[in-house]
Amino acid sequence: MTIYEEVRKRFHRLSKGQRKVAQYVLDNPRAVAQHVAAEVGRQAGVSESTVIRFCYAIDLGGYTELQMLMKEYLLQSEPTKARAYGSNAKVKSIEKNASNLMNQDAKAIIDTIQLIDDEQLNGAAKAIDEAQHIYIMSTVSTTPIASWLVGTLQQLHPNVTHLDDPHTYVQEAQEFDQNSVMLVVALEKPTADFVKFIDGAERKGVKVITVADTAMTPLRSSTTHLFAMGTKQKSIFNMTPVVFTFLHTLLECTIAQNRRKYEQFQREGVSQERPALRLVNTLH
């Protein structure tokens, strides 16, 4: 269900002022995505606080989340150009087809950039940097992505755990506390048990960072920092390049929090014959 459909479904349960906001949101999704809450309130004929209360009334965390959902809705609503490959397309050359495919990946990455809130990104990077223990969890089909993330983080942090065995969940959960961070990769609808486990971690004070296929993921109510991947191609295969690009960005921002600390950890790793990850010098 999109945010547009969610607003329509809840419309008649809203107060009179909130209905004005809802109608404005339905009629002007692009304006909501671009303007601050005060301006939306002015255009809708209500106060800024009514706009914020509207967000809470439809179970959002605030206006920033509404904007992210509207941006995602607009991206998904844009007409998709015909693919440059497939049974109905003539591929003139391998080179041209490769160019088109890579341009599609680039477009998906650019779309995702529009959904990323800088404050959320910096907050997530800070949480990872300050964490005493980092847990990685994923849905079944995104396990390969999670495995890469685990391997990379283990070269940057001494305590990284991959939660890939349901039989150990209860034992690991006993260690959860406010000094823990959980990175969740969920590019498909998670199971009810998966959602329940993440919710339990959040209740214990764990900072949950979720990378999802949509901002409307069932995990959003248990997530501290949510990042939706802006691609219309919702198969794991097509989303993978976008996810890896985002995770690279997140790790770069984490390293930038305290570059010397990570360089020192790497030097110690080399002395212990641990494979070294060469840190790029683009962020200081």
Amino acid at 250: L
Q: How many CA atoms lie within 13 A of 124 on its CB side?
A: 25
pLDDT-derived band of residue 84, with 50, 70 and 90 as boundaries? Answer: very low
| pLDDT above 90: residue 14 | yes
Reported as a pLDDT band with limits 50, 70 and 90, residue 169 is confident
The candidate with the shortest Cα–Cα distance to 155, out of 262, 281, 271, is: 262
pTM above 0.85, yes or no: no
Cα 49 to Cα 65: distance, rounded to the nearest angstrom: 15
Give me the mean pLDDT over the 35-45 stretch: 92
Tokens of 76: 């998904």
Task: Kindly tell me if the per-residue pLDDT of 218 is higher than 80.
Answer: yes
Confidence band of 279 (pLDDT split at 50, 70, 90): low
Domains of the chain: 3-77 (1.10.10.10), 118-271 (3.40.50.10490)
